[in-house]
Structure 1
Amino acid sequence: MARRTGRNGSVIGGRVATVLDGRVLARLAVGRTVVLVTGTNGKTTTTSMIARALGGDGEVATNHLGANMPDGITTALLDAPGKRLAVMEVDESYLGEVAAATDPAVIVLLNFSRDQLDRVGEVRTVARRVGDAVAAHPRARVVAFADDVLCAGAGLRSAAPLWVSSPSSWTGDAGVCPRCDGPVTHAGLRWTCGSCGLTRPPGNWAIVDDDGWCARGPDGVDVPLELALPGHANRLNATFAIAVAAELGVEPAVAAARLRGLEQVGGRYRTVTRPGGTTRLLLAKNPAGWAQVLDLLDEGPGRPVVVAVNSREADGRDVSWLWDVPFERLAGHPVVVAGERSAELSVRLAYAGLPHRLADDAVRATRDTVGAVDLVGNYTAFHDAARVLT
């Protein structure tokens, strides 16, 4: 019924089924090889990449619309009764519950940073809960990001984690050791706790630039990353996907080839043609996500950027995180601000010394711009724009 009325129906089926049978998620997971993907940023994209690397929609059950709480995951499994592989993104706060029900073969830990503090709480608490979920499933293969201090702390709760490594541009949440709460220092590619000596694990999989970007696996073989999706963050997401696929028996070269044609995920990175130019849709909902977007913007010319920020329930009501984003890096880009919290964003940009103008509507602002423009929105601002433009 929800889908007939134009909604995606990605939650309601699971919610009703759970009311009727409190163990429905566990029953639906029986006999499946389950991969759970969690972290603050990149869950939807990495989940889509892993599903594609393992064979795509015809082979894999997945919550590709991003409904990542138990009801959404239940709906995704209800919609795919015959598929033996399941790749599900999971909200960090629900990993323990979902893992207990699904007995995952693989748990993927992408990163942990501040996000929606009024809903999920302090990030170190979230990372510790994820670590508890990891420890409760010793048979699961844990694939974790070595360069994220909190992610590494959670991954080390596994007896034999598989580490993915790449220099990270965001270390704002990485100042305290996850083991002893001592100070963490960063030197080049390494991080170390000054109190207990905990240090960055060596990467089993790493991104290397050797006449072109590659994912280098444990056997030292390089797999070219020939991606349609832009930016270093997606090279990292792809390396996670290749590593997970290899754990489940897919040759890395085969997995990488399956990722080549992926051009957008749920509207993310999609370029829309409009009269007078094009609009590229980008999602950034916290300081760490903005660090990735700024890296991406640095790779191209200084084209106009429309930034839209809302503060609805799905975004988190608190927008103080805007002061932790290095918006100074937008110097050289014509900037327009929009969204429900455009006034607060305008103040932040004023302190950054960035000339900008305010607009009542983000989509209209892109349409008023000649040539190529990037529209960067937080969660609901992004989806509002995507619905109009696509």
Structure 2
Amino acid sequence: MSPRATSAPASPAGSPTALTARGRAASAVARLATWASRVTGRGSGGMIGGLVALKVDPGLMRQLAAGRRTALVTGTNGKSTTTRMLVAALGSVDRVASNSGGDNMDAGIVSALNADRTAPLAAIEVDELHTPAVAANTDPEAIVLLNLSRDQLDRVGEINAIERRLRAGVAAQPQATIVANCDDVMMTSVAYDNPSVVWVAAGAPWAGDSVSCPRTGEPVTRTVDEAGAVHWRGTGPLPDGREFARPEPDWWVDDEAIHGPGGFTAPMRLALPGRANRGNAAQAVATAVAMGADPAAAVRAVETVDDVAGRYSTVDVDGRSAHLLLAKNPAGWQEALGMIDASADGLVIAVNGQVADGVDLSWLWDVRFETFEGISVYAAGERAADLSVRLTYAGVEHELEPDPLAAIRRCPPGRVEVLANYTAFRDLGRAIAALGGSDPARKEQR
């Protein structure tokens, strides 16, 4: 799709624009396709509507985005959660359109914007590869850069190439405020040259993909200060002579509170677990404030987010209380493993290797599974055998049960932790729904 091939009619600042005749036809066809998908039970329609619309009018995204104040959220992990938090925080300012179902490529974004034509604000989750083109079509007021690490190498490719592509895409949007994670070496490099950056210390416990500077190849060193903050710096200068080092954050979090510019401090008690989600919340708050939200109101809003498309939800499966967690790559798995309750009665780890997951599962060997004792562990999913080999080398006693639902049922009665990658999580949700319950993965798509 050519980023600026179709121009939309002018509209008053801050109000969504009218569509061209072709755009109106595309919008109508999209709504019909979405409706048909839902009533026939084929899905939420978040993708098919946009796919059909873009066939009719390839410039529809630009028309639907015109007149809105838009924030884009991108990164390897945390996009859906941060976007959901940003929607809540920006809701204190005005109505917000968003792709809350997680459809984060062109078609899904078009569907989301088409679903709410009049909302003056938009918070859009965007796949890393699609961010430059989506930014060119939406003229974002803010771009949120979360983290960047290996993910689906067979589809996404080498991490330094993605950093360069993102950097060029961000540089092409000088009007945007960049809200970047200064703890992440890769995202800091993406934002480093931008004229307007809000730096957030959102954390970056996974350093396996940032041992060297993405611009020079020189090693990156890390030190820890007395407060426990990790500071990093490149050992060699950038080509223009500047030092490449962790910027001082404008926003940061600790275990109890969030801190921001001008001495702002507020308690922050999130409903979602994990240190990573505190970082996600900090970036959502920082972005909302940059777009006009009151800081205290933004913090209160992100505290209300308790579910993201079924992630972190707990469902009953034959008397077992199954706590569902989603992870998709080494960094995400390492973070999710830290959320596992080791006192649970059972643990099911489910891994598929479909296109949406990435068929290359060699990353399993980068995840530290050597942490489970005294808990019944089951290796499940289409690639359960691959996972079983990894668990064996990690010294984790386990049983092989490819069907995740059957694996939950084989766990002792009580609390069961379930950690699954993308399609395994999706398929398990559908299996649970078939039992007569609601599909946890579709809660945010209705």
In structure 2, the CA distance between the partners of 1:328 and 1:302, relative to structure 1 (3 Å rule), is farther
In the alignment, which residue of structure 2 is the partner of 1:67? 103
Q: Which residue of 2 aligns with 1:255?
A: 298
| Match among 365, 368, 378 for residue 421 of structure 2 | 378
- Aligned twin of 2:253: 207
Tell whether the 8 Å contact from 2:257 to 2:268 is kept in structure 1 after alignment.
yes
Q: 1:123 aligns with which of 136, 140, 159?
A: 159
Q: Which secondary structure does the structure 1 equivalent of 2:258 belong to?
A: strand
Q: 2:369 maps to what in 1?
A: 327
Please point out which of 348, 358, 376 is paired with 2:400: 358
Residue of structure 2 in register with 1:34 after alignment: 70
Q: Quick check: which has more Rg, 1 or 2? A: 2
Aligned residue in 2 for 1:273: 316
State TM-score, norm by structure 1.
Answer: 0.96
Q: Secondary structure of 2:363's partner?
A: helix
Q: In structure 2, do the counterparts of structure 1 residues 135 and 58 end up closer, same or farther at CA, with 3 Å as the change threshold?
A: closer
**Change in CA separation of 1:379 and 1:56 when aligned onto 2, cut-off 3 Å:** farther
Does residue 13 (structure 1) correspond to residue 49 (structure 2)? The answer is yes
1:193 alignment counterpart: 234
Secondary structure in 1 aligned to 2:44?
Answer: coil
The CA deviation string for residues 131-171 of structure 1, in whole angstroms up to 9 with x for no partner, is: 11110001100001111110110011311211110442211
Q: TM-score, normalised by structure 2?
A: 0.84
Q: Deviation of residue 225 (structure 1)?
A: 1.5
Task: Find the partner of 1:173 among 178, 199, 209.
Answer: 209
CA distance in 2, matches of 1:296, 1:54: 28
Deviation at 1:333, TM superposition (A): 3.5
Q: How many residues align?
A: 386
**Offset of residue 233 of structure 1:** 1.2
Distance 1:349 1:200, change over 3 A: same
Q: Contact (CA 8 Å) 2:94, 2:121: kept in 1 or not?
A: no
Equivalent residues of 2:377, 2:399 under 8 A apart: yes
Aligned CA distance change for structure 1 residues 65 and 208 (closer, same or farther; 3 Å): same
Matched, 1:77 2:118: no
- Distance across 1 between alignment mates of 2:231 and 2:56: 50
Q: Which residue of 1 aligns with 2:410?
A: 368
Q: Deviations 1:17-71 (Å, cap 9, x if unpaired)?
A: 1111121100111100011000000101111110011118981110011110011
Inter-partner Cα distance in structure 2 for 1:56 and 1:10: 26
Structure 2 residue aligned with 1:339: 381
Letter of the aligned partner of 1:372 in structure 2?
A: R
1:309 and 2:345 are equivalent in the alignment: no
Paired letter, 1:194: T
What amino acid is the match of 1:203?
P
CA contact (8 A) 1:51 1:57 kept: no
Q: Closer, same or farther in 2 for the Cα pair 1:24/1:244, shift >3 Å?
A: same
Q: Which moves more between the two structures, 325-334 or 125-134?
A: 325-334
- 1:332 and 1:254 map into 2 onto residues whose CA distance is 43
Question: Are 1:86 and 2:129 matched, yes or no?
Answer: no
Distance 2:247 2:376 in 1: 41
Q: Matches of 1:229 and 1:204 in 2, distance apart?
A: 23
Is the Cα contact below 8 Å between 2:251 and 2:259 reproduced in 1? yes
Instruction: Answer yes or no: is the 8 Å Cα contact 1:281–1:386 preserved in 2.
Output: no
Does residue 3 (structure 1) correspond to residue 38 (structure 2)? The answer is yes
Quick one: which amino acid aligns to residue 360 of structure 1? Answer: P
Maintained 8 Å contact 1:134/1:157: no
Give ranges in structure 1 of 5+ residues lacking alignment. none
CA contact (8 A) 2:66 2:138 kept: yes
Q: Which range moves more in the overlay, 192-201 or 73-82?
A: 192-201
Preserved CA contact (<8 Å) 1:294 1:330: no
RMSD: 1.6
2:92 and 2:293 in contact (8 A); partners too: no
Deviation at 1:375, TM superposition (A): 0.7
Match of 2:135 among 89, 99, 119: 99
Q: Which runs of 4+ in 1 moved over 6 A?
A: none
| Deviations, residues 286-345 of structure 1 (Å, cap 9, x unaligned) | 1100111122226x6355210000000100110000000011123444311001111111
Match of 2:279 in 1: 236
Partner of 2:12: none
Aligned position for 2:79: 43
The letter of the residue matching 1:142 is: I
Query: Aligned to 2:46, what secondary structure does the other structure show?
Result: coil
SS of aligned partner of 1:256 = helix
Please give the secondary structure, in 2, of the residue aligned with 1:95: helix
Q: Give the Cα–Cα distance (whole angstroms) in 2 for the partners of residues 57 and 265 of structure 1.
A: 21
Match in the other structure for 1:139: 175
Query: How do 1:158-169 and structure 2 match up within 5 A?
Result: 158-169=194-205
Retained in 2: the 8 A contact 1:302–1:332?
A: no
| Alpha-carbon spacing, 1:57–1:331, altered in 2? closer, same or farther (3 Å) | farther
Shift of 1:184: 0.7
Provide, for residues 177-210 of structure 1, a one-character-per-residue CA deviation record: whole Å limited to 9, x for no partner: 022121111111111111124111111110123x
